[in-house]
Structure 1
Amino acid sequence: MNRSFPFRERSGVAAIGLLLVGLSSSFAHAQQTQDTNFRMEGDKPIQIESDQLEVFDQENTAIFTGNVVVVQGPTQMRSNFMKVFYSDKKEQPSQGEAKPASTTGQNSSDIDRIEVGGKVYVNSGTQTATGDEGSFDMRANVLRLTGKEVVLSDGGNVLTGCALTVQTETGKARLEACGGNRVRMVISPDSE
């Protein structure tokens, strides 16, 4: 069944927050800074706006299209589209088995992965990450931001490559070069 209605009527808003956490974590570790403006804001509401939202119940997907903007605390993500893949959790845990915690207070679905595309932009304070496409595998806790050019910047400090992969649980990040080029890093002596 194909339905269009506000996303707040579906559980899974927390997935957007996890995407932001993944991006923020990746930037913090890629830059290897002691302090970062990208922070988990689990106690802050998440606001999502787009020109359209379609929810496909049978495919377990929700697609936001056109001028997608996600804001949580000081962190903002913009893209042309965002697709959320979720799995229904209709079965109850067996006796003695703990119920999984849900950050939305609802247990009707779990997010498997999120894909964003059409120029992805994430900003928090002085830090910015941009690319053409991004994905966050919620099960494996792996974030990937790719594009013709992936740029991570903090003030005058800039990292450039074509693919950023982050294991969000460990903080291990890898920035890959474009084609035959190399990863570039510019460090500004005036940056704090």
Structure 2
Amino acid sequence: MRSLPALAVLILALGLATASAQEVAFPGLRTDTEAQVEVTADSLSVNQAKGTAVFTGNVLIVQGPMRLKAEKVEVEYGADRSKIAKLHASGGVTLASKTDAAEAREAVYAVATGAVEMTGDVLLTQGENVLSGQHMTIDLKTGTGRMDGRVRSVLQPGGTP
């Protein structure tokens, strides 16, 4: 009988862990990270010395089937200035494919690794299923990810997380 309280604590701890983080499949956000990146915006400011470019106003970034929209995107180029290293998006960020869409306040996309980190009131919609939290990481190469920060799921019967 002494182990019953310990078991109850373990079950409670596992339940809390599940509520704070959730592994997620993003098959619709899987993309070819070697594909060309196309950026359109209302304006562009370039700083050659820093190796950056800032796109502002109705920014749309397209890479394969993936679309990223935001108010502002700072592009950071690699050391040789020939390839994009990172994209820092802010202001109503939406990352979408044909089947999945994720919204957040900010996002950072490391192009070489295919890693996307979204922060601030993250909302993921996959069909009729909805997942929300404060922080989400996505691996665009594998189509997998993780949601953290008071995760909430609304799953439809027969749906997958």
- TM-score between the two structures when normalised by the length of structure 2: 0.71
SS at match of 1:31: strand
Equivalent residue in structure 1 for 2:135, among 163, 171, 188: 163
Counterpart residue type for residue 153 of structure 2: M
Q: CA deviation at 1:156?
A: 0.9
Is 2:148 aligned against 1:176? yes
Over aligned residue pairs, what C-alpha RMSD do you find? 3.0
- The equivalent of 1:150 in structure 2 is 122
Structure 1 Cα separation of the partners of residues 62 and 114 of structure 2: 21
Using the aligned pairs only, state the percent identity: 31
Bigger fraction of residues in strand: 2
Q: CA deviation at 1:115?
A: 0.4
CA contact (8 A) 1:156 1:190 kept: no
- Structure 1: which 5+ runs fail to align? 1-28, 90-107
- TM-score between the two structures when normalised by the length of structure 1: 0.60
Is 2:30 aligned against 1:62? no
SS at match of 1:59: coil
How many residues were matched structurally? 139
Return the index of the structure with the highest Cα Rg.
Answer: 2
- Structure 2: which 5+ runs fail to align? 1-21
- The equivalent of 2:108 in structure 1 is 135
SS at match of 1:109: coil
Structure 2 Cα separation of the partners of residues 156 and 145 of structure 1: 21
CA contact (8 A) 1:152 1:160 kept: yes
CA contact (8 A) 1:165 1:174 kept: yes
Is 2:3 aligned against 1:31? no
Structure 1 Cα separation of the partners of residues 30 and 156 of structure 2: 23
* Structure with more relative contact order (C-alpha pairs < 8 Å, separation 6 or more): 2
